[in-house]
Structure formats: structure tokens, C-alpha cells
Amino acid sequence: MADHHAAIKSDGKQLLLTTSDASIRFHAIWLLDNSSDADTRDPYNGQRLITMQDLPTDVTITDAVVDGDVLHLTFTPGDKTCQFSIDWLLNNGYDTQPHTFQPHLRANAKTWNSGLAKQVPTDDLTRLRNDDAARRNWLFSIRQFGFAKVTNLPTKDGSLFDVVALFGYVRETNYGRKFEVRTEINPTNLAYTGLGLQAHTDNPYRDPVPTLQILACLENSASGGENMVVDGFAAALRLRAENPEGFDLLARYTARFSYAGESGVRLSSKRPMIELATDGELVSVRFNSRSIAPFVDVPFDEMEAYYAAYRHLSDIIDDPDMEVTFKLAPGEAFIVDNTRVLHARKGYSGAGNRWLQGCYADKDGLLSTLAALEHQKETANEPA
């Protein structure tokens, strides 16, 4: 039996929970607010049934009893009794040291460089459809690396939607539910030419930006046209190591992006090239030299240093040691986290055919599907 103890502190305003491994404090108002009883949360969907106005302004704990792995608390006013799993409290504890602002990766993310080319996460579409463990592992790789490949797609129009169906839904834009990537006369976007493209994130002129992009190959007999991907988080952290002042400039000031390449469309946004959360977590990288607009949010005295930092980041992104290069064969596709991973294309000749189709999707659907599959695995492993 686990050794757990609970003690009421600060005249009932706080609770000290002690286990064999930790001592952790909770506030009474936080505990009451996070009760899972049927009056507070819907027992079927878990959504809250109360607002802050329903909570007393002067909440105190009057009784605390540990029974095995369950904590029973009574609150006043109202003499309301609630139950909490000790494991749940430990997993949701907030009694930690204050956050220090240190740029860092989000949980379960792992940076990479050209070495990933030897172990690109890849799986077969049929297996991903029929094997939950395979799909879970593939989605985990996307969360970890921001990038993965799929093989054995039908080489037909719209087959890339089969990839999106593994986890979520297509996000439609002015380019449609999908867009064609092949040479056009008078193209509305440089992606529709045979020119090489620097590694970039897509659509930085949107807010919110599409968080996932899928590119699927239907034909590829042209010479050249290899795809490349670069880990934007690795590039940002390398910039910080080599030029901390430059990193700070790109994270502190907003860049502007715009697109007006077709009739009836004028898109613009302003976000930092390197976006950080308030605790320093890397949120996103936006980098697209084709869509950059004039910088007007950088002070005059720092503009030259800002451009130097922008050039430094660009040099890192262009470093061959940062890129994974591959040539898609018909029936292959790849997916990138568009808030993190930059993608590129080498130039290709007019001989032969190169036809890719692309679409966008949203990362919340992917993360939700992954979380559900992980929960399914955990509950399946629970003892009867």
C-alpha cells in the first residue's frame, strides 16, 4: 500500500500532500475548481458545468482524509466533499520552482539534422490504416521530429487525402482543398515553376498558419526536383548558440509577411520569425523569403543587427548539414509540421514530368488522434 499523507495548512487555504517520493502543495480554490464530481463536470464529456462565479470567494478545506490512493476533501462554505486520485494530483501538480525564461523544446520534441536521412520515419499507408500501433508510432514520430513519410499511396488524383484521413481533416484555403505542384505558364505562385526553392515554411502570411502540410507524388520522371526538409527548431537553437543577440532580435520583433498573387486575395500577417511562449518554449518558426514584407516593427537603431540575424538564420537553414534530401517516387508522400519544419525543392528540368499534389491540415487533429491512441494503449495495459 502506498504511503500518502494529507495535511491542511494556512487555515484551510492550502493542502500539503506527502507521498514516499514527493511533497506537493495545492490551494483550496484550485482543488475545488478542479473537482470531477457530477455537479462540476459532465460525467460523459468531462466539460465544466460551472463558472468562476459559482465558486465561493473564500474557500477553505475543513477535512482531508487519505484512503489508499484516493484523497477525500471537504470544503466550506457548503460542506462539499470531493474525491481526487493521488496519481492525478501528482500528475497535475504545480508546486514547482518559478519558470526561468530559457528557450527550450516542447515535450516529446527532438531536434535533428542531415543524420535523420538514415532513419526517416516511414510507413505503408495500408498498414497505417489497419494497425493502430503502427499509426500511433507514425504519429508519435511526427510529434517528435515534425516530419514523416508515407509509401504505397494510389497514384491517382486526391490520394493525399488518404493520409489526412489517418488523423484529421483537410484545411481548405484559397488554393482549394488541394493544390497542384507542377510547372505552369504565368504561375500564381513560384511553387508552380521548375525553379529551386529555398527551405521555407508555407503560408506565413496566414494567421493562423496551416500547421500541417502534405505533399504526395503522382509522377516524377523529371531530372532533379529533389525535396529537402530542415528542422526549424534545430536551426533556431543553433542560431541562439552561435548568435544569442541575433536570436533575441528575431524572437523579440515581429516580421511581416504578405501574399497577393491572385485576384481577390490579399493575405498578411505579423509574427516573429522565431516565436516563443512566455516560458521560453519554442512555438513556431516562420521563414519564407518569397513572402516577406517590409520590416516596419524593428527600431531604426536595431535594423542592421536584425538583418544580420536574419542572414545568419538563412545561412544556417542553407547549410547542407541541416537538411534531409530525398526524391519522392510516385505513390510516396511526406508530411511536415509547418510551424516547425521547413521544406524545399531543388530545381528541375523541362524534360520528363513532375506532378505533386499538396494540401493542408491542422495539428490539433493529429495530436488528438495520437493522444487517443496512446490512451487506448495505456488502458489496454491496465490490470483487470
- Give the pLDDT confidence of 304-335 residue by residue, as tens digits: 999 999 999 999 999 999 999 999 999 999 99
pLDDT at position 350, please?
A: 60
Amino acid at 128: L
C-alpha distance across the termini of the chain, in Å: 18
Within the chain, where are the H helices? 28-33, 86-91, 125-130, 132-145, 161-164, 232-242, 244-252, 303-318, 363-380
Q: What is the mean pLDDT of the chain?
A: 92
Q: How many CB atoms lie within 10 A of CB 301?
A: 7
Q: What is the pLDDT of residues 178-200, one digit of tens each?
A: 999 886 444 555 555 556 688 99
Q: For residue 155, give the H/E element and its range.
A: none
Of the pLDDT bands very low, low, confident and very high (cuts 50, 70, 90), residue 97 is confident
pLDDT value at position 118?
93
φ, ψ for residue 248 (rounded to 5)? -65, -40
Q: Could you identify the residue written with the cell 504545480?
A: 94
Burial class of 375 by CB neighbour count within 10 A (0 to 12, 13 to 18, 19+): exposed
Grid cell of 227 as nine digits: 525535396
Q: Please, what's the b/e burial string for 22-45 (b: 16 or more CB within 10 A of its CB; e: otherwise)?
A: eebebbbbebbebbeeeebbeeee
Q: What are the residues facing 26 on neighbouring strands?
A: 15
**Confidence at 384, pLDDT banded by 50, 70, 90:** very low
Of 115, 342, 353, nearest to 224 by C-alpha is: 353
Q: What's residue 351's pLDDT? A: 64
**224: helix, coil or strand?**
strand
For residues 230 and 344, the answer to whether their CB atoms sit within 8 Å is yes
Residue percentage of the chain with pLDDT more than 70:
93
Preceding amide of 154 cis, omega within 30: no
Among the ranges given (43-52, 171-180, 363-372), the one the predictor scored with the smallest mean pLDDT: 43-52
- Whether 99 shows a pLDDT value over 70: the answer reads no
Instruction: Identify which of 324, 330, 358 has the alpha carbon closest to the alpha carbon of residue 221.
Output: 330
Contact 66, 4 (CB under 8 A): yes
Give the mean model confidence (pLDDT) for residues 6-35: 94
Q: How sure is the predictor about 10, in pLDDT bands with cuts at 50, 70 and 90?
A: very high
Please state the pTM of the whole predicted model.
0.85
Q: Span 350-363, mean pLDDT?
A: 88
Per-residue pLDDT of 102-156, as tens digits, reads 899 999 999 999 999 999 999 999 999 999 999 999 999 999 999 999 999 999 9
pLDDT of 359 over the 60 cut = yes
Mean pLDDT of 194-218: 92
